[in-house]
Amino acid sequence: MARAGGRANISRAAVLVTGLTAISTLLGFVRDVVIAAVFGAGAALDAYLVAQGLMNIVLGLIAYAMARAATPVIAREAAKEKDGCAGHPGFDVAITMTMVVLGIGGVVMGVFARPVTAVIAPGFDGGQADTAAHLTRIVLIATVLIAGTDLLASLSQAHGRFAWSSLQGVPFNVIMIGAAALFGPQYGITALAVGFVVGSGARLLLQLPPLRSLGTKVRPRVNLRDPGFREIARLVPALLVGSAIGNINTLVDRAVGSTLDEGAITALSYGWRLVNLPETLLIASLLVPLYPALSASAGNMTEVKRLVGRGLSVTVTVLVPLCLILAIASRPLAELTFGRGAFSADDIDATATAVLWYTPALLALGCRQVIVSASYAIGDSRAPVLVAVFAMIINVAGDILLAPIMGIAGIALATSASLGGAALANGWLLHRRHGGLDLRASTGLLVRAAGLAVISGGAGYGLLALLADGPALITVGAVGLAVCGLYAVGLILLRAPERLLPFEMVRAARAR
C-alpha cells in the first residue's frame, strides 16, 4: 500500500472526494429547497427536525464514535497488507456490537418518544408534540441503517477507497426529494420520515461494492477480547462523549428554539445548512483522506505537523472569503435559496438572521475539524473531549442568556462562540502536548487572512449597498466575485504560501 501520508495521494483523494461529494451535497441542497417550498418554516417541519434530533441521540452516541475509532486501527492494519485484505476481525466485532446496541436503544427510545419529546421541545403544544413523537418512532428505524453505512464507509476509506462513500448522499437525497415533492402534499410530514428511512437503506446498499472489490468479508463476531476490537473500544469512550456533546448542543438549541416563534427551529436549521455547506463540500471532503493519512503517520510528528499545517491552510484560504460572502449577502442568499412556495418573506428574514450570526462558526468548525482529527489520529482523545465539554457549557449558557434577548440571533451567536473557543483551545493543546501544530505558521496564516478579509469585505459591503434593490442572484454573484477576486489578488501580492493551493489541486486532478 502506498504511503498514506504522501502529499500527492492526499491531494488526489481530496479532489476525488470533493468532486463526488459535490454531487451529493448539491442534491442535498435541492432536497432542502423542495422541502422548504412544500412545508414552509412551520410547526410540522419544526416537529420533524426535533424527531431527527431524538434519533441522533441514539445514533450520535454510538455509531459515529465507533466509526471514527475504527478508522485509525484499520488504516494501520491496511498499511501492512501485501496480498489483499484478509479481513479485520476487530472491525467485525465492532459492527456486530454496534448493531445490537443501536437496535435495543432504538426500541427503547421509540417506547418513550412522547415524554422525551416533551423534555427536549418544551415549547411544543400537545398536537405538535404528538406529531414529533410519531415522526421519531419512524426515523428511529434508520439508526441501524445509518450506523452500518458509517462503519462500512470507514472500512473502505481506511483502504483508500473513497468514491462510493462520497456518493452515498445521491440515492438518499433523490428519495427524499421524491418523498417531499410527490408524497408530501398528500401524506404531509410523515412522507419525509418514511423517505428518510428508505433513503438510509439506499445509502447502506451503496457501501457494498467497494467491499466486494477489496474481497473483504464482514462477519458477525462477538469476541470482545479480540485485540483489534479492544484497541477500537479504547478510543470509543472519548469519541462517544465528544459526539454526544455535539448532539446535546443541537438539542439545547432546538429546545430553546421551541420557545420562540413558530418556525424558529426550521430557520435555525436552514441557516446552518447554508453556512455549513462549504465545510461539508470542501473541508469535510479534505478530511476524508486526511484522517487515515494522519493515523498512518501517527509515529512521525514532523509529518503530522506538516499534514495539519496543510489542512489548516486549505481550510482558512477557502473558508474566509466564503464566510465574508455569507455574512454580507445573507438576506439575498436566503431569498435565492429558499424564497419560493410556502417559504414566506418572514421565513427568509429569520433564516438570513441565522446565517449572519452562524457565519463565524464556519471557520471555527473547519479549523477545529483538522486539529481534532490530528489529536484522535495520534491517540489523544482526552484533550478534544475536555474542550468539547468546555464548548458545550458556552453554548448552553449562551442559548439560555441570549435567546430571550436576541431570539434566533442569540442561539446562533452562542454556537459561533462555543465553536470559536473550541478551535482555539484544541489548537493550543495539540501544540502544547504533542508539538503537532506550528504556531508561528498558523498565526501568520490567520493574520494574512484577517487583513485580506477587511479589504475584500469592505468591497463586498459597498457592492451590497449599490445593489440593495437588485435581483438576489445578481447581488450574490457580484458580492461573491468581488470578495473572492480581491482575496485572491491579495494572496498573490503578499506572495502567501497558500496562493499555490489551487494549482496543486489542479495538478492533482489531472494526475487523477
Q: Residue 66: inside a domain, yes or no?
A: yes
H runs (alpha helix) in 112-141: 113-120, 126-139
pLDDT at residue 209, rounded to an integer: 85
Q: Residue 235: inside a domain, yes or no?
A: yes
Q: Are 147 and 59 in contact (CB under 8 A)?
A: yes
Q: Residue 243: inside a domain, yes or no?
A: yes
CA nearest 369: which of 354, 386, 355, 388?
Answer: 388
DSSP 305-358: HHHHHHHHHHHHHHHHHHHHHHHHTHHHHHHHHH-STT--HHHHHHHHHHHHHH
Q: What digits encode the pLDDT tens for the residues 212-230?
A: 877 777 788 888 888 878 8
CA nearest 240: which of 119, 102, 109, 112?
Answer: 102
Q: What is the rounded distance in angstroms from the CA atom of residue 372 to the CA atom of residue 387?
A: 10
pTM above 0.75, yes or no: no
Q: Where are the beta strands (DSSP E) in 40-178?
A: none
Residue 271, all three cell numbers: 441557516
CA nearest 372: which of 251, 286, 276, 287?
Answer: 287
Return mean pLDDT, the chain: 81
Residue 311, all three cell numbers: 489542512
Q: What is the rounded distance in angstroms from the CA atom of residue 377 to the CA atom of residue 374?
A: 5
Pick 416 or 231 by higher pLDDT.
416
Residue 302, all three cell numbers: 514532523
Residue 282, all three cell numbers: 470542501
Helix then strand then coil, % of the chain, to nearest 5: 85, 0, 15
pLDDT at residue 7, rounded to an integer: 46
Q: What digits encode the pLDDT tens for the residues 348-367?
A: 999 999 999 999 999 998 88
Q: Residue 63: inside a domain, yes or no?
A: yes
Q: Residue 219: inside a domain, yes or no?
A: yes
Q: What digits encode the pLDDT tens for the residues 477-502?
A: 999 999 999 998 888 888 877 776 65
* Backbone phi and psi for residue 259, each to the nearest 5 degrees, phi listed first: -90, -10
Exposed/middle/buried for 495, CB within 10 Å: 0-12, 13-18, 19+?
exposed
Q: Residue 48: inside a domain, yes or no?
A: yes
pLDDT at residue 5, rounded to an integer: 42
* Backbone phi and psi for residue 23, each to the nearest 5 degrees, phi listed first: -65, -50
Q: Residue 139: inside a domain, yes or no?
A: yes
Q: What digits encode the pLDDT tens for the residues 80-123?
A: 666 666 667 778 888 888 888 888 888 888 888 888 888 778 88
Mean pLDDT across 445-451: 91
User: Residue with C-alpha cell 445490537?
Assistant: 100
| Residues in contact with 75: Cβ distance below 8 Å, sequence separation at least 6, in sequence order | 4, 158, 292, 295, 296
Exposed/middle/buried for 504, CB within 10 Å: 0-12, 13-18, 19+?
middle
Mean pLDDT across 159-180: 82
Q: What is the rounded distance in angstroms from the CA atom of residue 129 to the CA atom of residue 136?
A: 10
Domain span including residue 205: 43-255
The total of structural domains in the chain comes to 1
Q: What is the rounded distance in angstroms from the CA atom of residue 296 to the CA atom of residue 290?
A: 10
Q: Residue 112: inside a domain, yes or no?
A: yes
